[in-house]
Structure 1
Amino acid sequence: MKANRKLVLSILLPILVGSLASIPTSRNVRNWYVTINKPGFNPPNWLFAPVWTTLYVIMGISLYCIWKLPASVTRNNALKLFMAQLALNFLWSFLFFEFHLIAWALVDIILLLLFIILCIAGFSRISRVSAWLLVPYLAWVSFATALNYTIYKLN
């Protein structure tokens, strides 16, 4: 596959996953989400879409940096870790917003954090740039974990 096509697909994949995960979010953010108790550090709703869009693009660039490398066990394992964390990312929106399972969403996001760390470690073995590109994502999900935990405690 040509490099340009890999780059486009690498960026589109996280954006597509994020777009699909935003469906339950957008359906519930204006009704259910406004009814639950939230901490004072809860960001305004308008902030989430631009932050996630930016993170998904950066994740895609990071993915491309790994995918473009020659196939190897290390590269393929790193790609599997990326896909695992992306699946956990996708699942969280459904657990939290669609099904209102705040505790299960917390379990999911803790696993997501773990898999992001594993992904960064796997990426760093073959591309430091790719690993560093995931650090803002790790930071945001760490914040989201604290938010999820606090919402769980408040409700």
Structure 2
Amino acid sequence: MFDLVALLIILVTCFSVAGLGGATTRPALEGWYRNLRKPSWNPPNWAFPVAWSLLFLLMAVAAWLVWRERGHPLAWWGLGLFALQLAGNALWSFLFFGKRSPGAALVEVVPFLGVIVATAFLFHAVTPLAGWLLAPYIAWVSFATVLNFEIWRLNRG
């Protein structure tokens, strides 16, 4: 029972961060973001919430799997980095959409991606499935990094 409560808490935490990002993103979509120059391979707006919902679910399950192995010497390090990358996720949304600054978001996304990769490595060391569950997140944020760069490049003035 305690494991299910922990899973629920982790899910609520992850989706709260998602909600924060969404609250920052939504006001910018209709005007500012729509008017930005974007590369031809920019996904349609509807794809982002679908992808992020799946990614946050996978992240939560990965963190829960590591939490279940909290006796492992690397588990708390991994969970600490996990919390840090959640903060990095919210910060990126705030910088890109809230501050409307692709340049600041680009500076932030590189270390943010590094923290995600480090989290995946630590998660994998604790329980391999948890590390692999973060692979789609790493792929998506890598793609988002390149997209962020292109949007910054196309709109710098």
TM-score interval for Structure 1 and Structure 2 normalised by the shorter chain: over 0.9
Deviations 1:62-101 (A, max 9, x none): 0000111133541111111101111101101110001111
Unaligned segments of structure 2, at least 5 residues: none
Deviations 1:20-54 (A, max 9, x none): 11112001011100111110010000111111011
**2: distance between equivalents of 1:135 and 1:20?**
23
TM-score by length of 1: 0.96
**2: distance between equivalents of 1:73 and 1:99?**
39
Percent identical among aligned pairs is: 36
State the number of aligned residues. Answer: 155
Match of 2:18 in 1: 18
SS of 1:30 mapped into structure 2: helix
Unaligned segments of structure 1, at least 5 residues: none
Match of 2:119 in 1: 119
Correspondences of 1:1-155 after superposition (within 5 Å): 2-155=2-155
Deviations 1:128-149 (A, max 9, x none): 0000000000000011001000
**1: distance between equivalents of 2:12 and 2:109?**
22
Moved over 2 A (4+): 70-73
